[in-house]
Structure 1
Amino acid sequence: MAFTGINSFQLKWLAIVFMAVDHVNSYFGSQLGFPLWVAWLGRFVAPLFVFLLVEGFRHTRSRSKYAKRLGLAALVTASGNVVYQLLTGAYIDPMTHQPNYFLFLGPHNIFLTLFLLFCMMWVLAVMKQSSMGQKTILFLTFLVLLMLTAASEGGIYLIPMMLMMFALNEKRQRSKLFIGIFVYTMILLGLAISSYMQMPVYQSLYAYLTFDNEFMMVTVLPLIGLYNGQLGGTGSKWNKYFFYVFYPVHLWIIYFIFYLVG
């Protein structure tokens, strides 16, 4: 049988596996003896989810229902984050020893980021068909969403990704999208190396780049290239909602184990 590419369902499963590995590495990598390069493996996950989000935005039959699902998932994940922060006291600033309630947004809530990115796309889509007065209100709304997204998990790095994917969403524009992502990630690599050069030398460049590693989002390119535009799966509710359940549950398990061994 000839290889026909990878569908959306398969890409989601691939992202789920590497996302779980990335989170385990973040909390237990040193204890488990993981090499530093493991931190690079999951960097394609967030931009891949953004790519699939753009595809979902284009093809969904109800943008309002899609947004509600993302918003509800973000709220559920945020509730788990609040419990984690209260149990561990991680919301206390180690420098000032005062509560930093902004920390209650984290440590992880990709659903919040995806929800805000979805809303940004929705505003941009509506702007195309709006009057000048409406465009002004929508533009101000877009700026508010932009600031909120920049403050969410990975948002400041994913906003340019979303804008490129949203603007270059046709298959015939795929080469332009590839060039844009490559240039963007190489800029991030240059900024990371520049930051390293300005710091006191206490670790190797390799070690630093496994920490300041957002440039490795470039690894999403082969997966976008293999995407065949098909949904995949069986179309069941399990296929549709599994990730919405898996994401917060696997984080809660990691939080609980980390709290026990901490």
Structure 2
Amino acid sequence: MKTQSGHFLQLTTFDLKIIGIVLMVIDHFHQTFVPFGAPTWLDWFGRPVATIFFFTAVVGFSHTHSKKSYMLRLYISMVVMAVLMSLTQQLINFDQVQLINNIFRDLFIGTIFMAAVDQFEKVPDGHAGKHITLGIFLFLLPFLLSLVMLPLLTTGGSISFGHRLAMQALLAINPAILLAENGLMVLLIPIMYIFRKVRWAQLVSILVVAAIYGFFGSTQWMMLFAIIPIALYNGAKGHGMKYFFYIFYPAHIIFLYALAAWLY
């Protein structure tokens, strides 16, 4: 694909995020307007979104000046997003639509896995036992934290207000893979991180995951279309939008949810 100047089209990190945001808004419009008969095919636009943001998270984690600050920023966003979604549903009370959105949880879990990869990559530099142990612990952490949630998620019958409040608090602060919006698909993040210097391997990993979803009959196979913008990524950051997505993501969901509730 060439531009008018004759050069092949190249996309920056900023461009990838804008593409992801546009597709995400269409997907969330479908989610909140299902009670109005929003067509199912609108949901298809959202299938590549997570993959695009997974890729940008890999890029961001690879180039950030402070990986700890990067992780902390995502963790805080995860908790705030969970609280906002819970409060929005309680205040507006639109039972026709349930808000389970929290891509920040997926991205934060992804950074835990990437931190584990970093530990394994440090093994040749010495202190192998320490790095292997820490790497295994970090990789298992999102799965171990899922076990903490099982008793709460499987509780039957009516529950007290205190128990409900405790459960919501744990849901908000717990980076368990069981709670991830995209489930085990989050494992694509460390895979792409391992191949962060081999673009074709990243694209193949996306195709493999898409094929698995297709085999099981899920429309998530459409994630494979994410390889088009990712293949065109030129490695440049582009325009700065460090905090825009952190604000826009919850804001547009709350707006669409409130609008749909009001119209309903």
Same fold (TM over 0.5): yes
Equivalent residue in structure 2 for 1:253, among 252, 255, 258: 255
Matches within 5 A, 1:100-119: 107-119=100-112
CA displacement, residues 10-56 of structure 1 (integer Å, 9 cap, x when unaligned): 1111111110110001111462x543322111211111000010011
Q: Deviations over 1:156-193 (max 9, x none)?
A: 2232x2132112111xx22233222212211211112x
3-state SS in 1 of match to 2:33: helix
Counterparts of 1:24-35 in structure 2, within 5 Å, are 24-29=29-34, 31=36, 34-35=38-39
Tell whether the 8 Å contact from 1:157 to 1:214 is kept in structure 2 after alignment: no
CA 1:69–1:225 in structure 2 vs 1: closer, same or farther (change >3 Å)?
same
Q: Structure 2 length normalisation: TM-score?
A: 0.76
2:141 corresponding residue in structure 1 = 144
Count of residue correspondences:
221
**Residue 70 (structure 2) pairs with residue 43 (structure 1):** no
1:69-148 equivalence runs, <5 A: 69-87=73-91, 88=93, 107-129=100-122, 130-146=127-143, 147=146, 148=176
Q: Is the 8 A contact 2:109 2:186 kept in 1?
A: no
Q: Is the contact between residue 25 and residue 38 of structure 1 (CA under 8 Å) also seen in structure 2? A: yes
Partner of residue 25, structure 2: 20
Alignment match, 2:182? 154
Residue in structure 2 matched with residue 53 of structure 1 by the alignment? 57
* Residue from 206, 212, 221 that aligns with 1:215: 221
Percent of aligned pairs sharing the same letter? 31
Residue-by-residue CA offset, 1:50-102 (whole Å, 9 max, x unaligned):
00100111111111111121112112211111213323285xxxxxxxxxxxx
Which residue number in structure 1 is paired with residue 158 of structure 2? none
Q: What residue in structure 2 maps to residue 181 of structure 1?
A: 206
Q: Which portions of structure 1, spanning 4 or more consecutive aligned residues, are displaced by more than 3 angstroms? A: none
Counterpart-to-counterpart distance in 1, 2:63 and 2:142 = 22
Whether the 8 Å contact between 1:18 and 1:42 is mirrored in structure 2 is yes
Q: Which runs of 5+ in 1 are unaligned?
A: 91-102, 193-211
CA distance change for structure 1 residues 150 and 226 in 2, over 3 Å: closer, same or farther? farther
Question: Aligned partners of 2:205 and 2:119: how far apart in 1?
Answer: 25
Residues 134/227 of structure 1: CA separation in 2 closer, same or farther (3 Å cut):
closer
- In the alignment, is the contact (CA less than 8 A) between 2:27 and 2:42 conserved in 1? yes
CA RMSD after TM alignment = 2.1
Match of 1:243 in 2: 245
